[in-house]
Amino acid sequence: MKNCIKILGFALLAEALTLFVNLTLSFSGSAFMRMLCSACTVGILCGLMAQGGYSIGNIDRKAKKTFHFGKAFLLGLWGSAPYFILTIALILSKNGMISDNYYRYYKLLCAPFLAVCNLISDGISSSGVSAMGIIVLLILCCLPCISIMIAYKISIQGKAIEDVMYH
């Protein structure tokens, strides 16, 4: 339970930081700035979620625990769950089961994907989001899970991230 709260804490920190970056870089409406902002915010999300997985892996390594794929996957799934839930709600909104205005709230609640959402559709209604756009958002929802799992495995094996990055 403590690990789940830690992962959610990193997710909330990512939300706050990426919302700040999005608001800071929103002065330019050019496609290049939107792509740059998308890369920055998704990178911030992945980095912070990886830090969460790495710190949990360090704690488990010090407690002499071994790597279990199931635990790493569940931690990753827990980190991606808020984004999957919100994207499923977006699909429901697109199909008319929730208000069509949900897309504007989705953009704010999924701050790491705000710039991506603006690239996909400038509108504020869910009906303006294409099926390909939703697929892209679902793929992006997998990134926190992957980041947590990789960092957890690296950490529990006793490797430093710097060694993995620079060798």
pLDDT of residue 46: 96
Residues 6+ apart with CB under 8 A from 18: 41, 44, 45, 111, 112, 114
Question: How many domains is the chain partitioned into structurally?
Answer: 1
Distance (Å, whole) CA 51 – CA 44: 10
pLDDT of residue 100: 86
Distance (Å, whole) CA 167 – CA 72: 24
pLDDT of residue 27: 66
pLDDT of residue 165: 64
pLDDT of residue 158: 85
Range of the domain at 55: 2-166
Q: Cα–chain-centroid distance for residue 123?
A: 22
User: What does each C-alpha distance from 135 to 81, 84, 88, 149, 165 come to in angstroms?
Assistant: 16, 12, 11, 22, 30
Tens-digit pLDDT string for the chain (167 aa)? 788 899 999 999 999 999 999 888 766 677 788 888 899 999 999 999 999 999 999 999 999 988 889 999 999 999 999 999 999 999 999 998 998 899 989 998 999 999 899 889 888 889 889 999 999 999 999 999 999 999 999 999 888 777 666 65
